[in-house]
Structure 1
Amino acid sequence: MQTTANTQTLDQFVAHVFAEEYKQAMMLCTTDVKFVVFRNQSDHQVPIYGAHIGQAAGTLFFKNLAQLFEFGTFEMDDSIENDHYIVRFGELAHTVKRTGDVFNSLWTMIVRFDEVGRICLYRMHEDTAALEAALHISR
């Protein structure tokens, strides 16, 4: 069943990212994978915002996350799955390295898989106001 395989792939992907094993994480993705945080447009104040397309851009994106945050909790509360998508919901608490403030947020992850079970879209939605407050950004 594709849904079970996709769940295993996503779990492996997340484990690789948190272990900073980016090459192994990207091997679970298509070459033109698209990582989107909050919106497609980039933002000079928050470098993780925007669309990051391709494995090299994905690797850079996750390296930037690791430079930005001291990862704390990242817990999944629930998920919805079918043969092509997994949508997960949860909570996180990460410390911003530069400010020392904790970024607390509910999150939603939307992941799409291609026909052979590789990740082709990884989209995160979090509380942007809480993130910008923890980064000490004012708009």
Structure 2
Amino acid sequence: MSERIRNFLSSLADLDQAKKLVTPDVRFIAVREQSYDALSVYGTFEGYDGLVEFVSGLRAHFDTQQFHIDASLESEELGYASGRFEHRIRTTGRPFVSHWAVMCEFRDGKIALYRFYEDNAALEEAMGSRTECKEEI
């Protein structure tokens, strides 16, 4: 199991602890790089302030019912983990159930990039909102 990713996910209840596990210039990419007014959990969040904004958005929208890590793999520079979760959307009361994956890049033993993937169609359905993806590959 990827200790750095698991430790980070476990630390999200204590942002002071979470800050110790990321670089000062960390980038969080939540599903899509661009942000949307209707779905503020999408977007790119940078640095310690970005960590706080990212986690605050999760807390504002999701009442986590279950969160499981099923698999992970880590090297000195890269880490991957995947699993499944169930959240209840606070604004709609609807369930959001998805498999998820995260890819992390590490620098100096800390997370420098955190890129999270989930079933965005299921999220948009649960939140009652739609977006258009305009990202370039």
TM-score strictly above 0.5: yes
Amino acid of the residue matched to residue 133 of structure 1?
E
Indicate yes or no: 2:48 matched with 1:89: no
Contact 1:26–1:59 (CA under 8 A) maintained in structure 2: no
Contact 1:93–1:102 (CA under 8 A) maintained in structure 2: yes
Aligned position for 1:33: 26
- Paired residues in the alignment total 131
Normalized against structure 2, the TM-score is what? 0.89
Aligned position for 2:126: 134
Deviation per CA, 1:107-132: give whole Å up to 9, x if none.
11111110x20110111000111001
Please give the alpha-carbon distance, in whole angstroms, between the structure 2 residues aligned to 1:31 and 1:58: 10
Indicate yes or no: 2:8 matched with 1:13: yes
| From 99, 105, 122, the counterpart of 1:106 | 99
Gaps of 5+ in 1: none
Deviation per CA, 1:82-133: give whole Å up to 9, x if none.
111111111111100111111011111111110x201101110001110010
| From 112, 118, 122, the counterpart of 2:110 | 118
Aligned position for 2:41: 48
What is the CA RMSD across the aligned residues, in angstroms? Answer: 1.4
Shift in Å, 1:54: 0.7
Please give the alpha-carbon distance, in whole angstroms, between the structure 1 residues aligned to 2:130 and 2:109: 41
Normalized against structure 1, the TM-score is what? 0.88
Please give the alpha-carbon distance, in whole angstroms, between the structure 2 residues aligned to 1:71 and 1:106: 14
Contact 1:113–1:121 (CA under 8 A) maintained in structure 2: yes
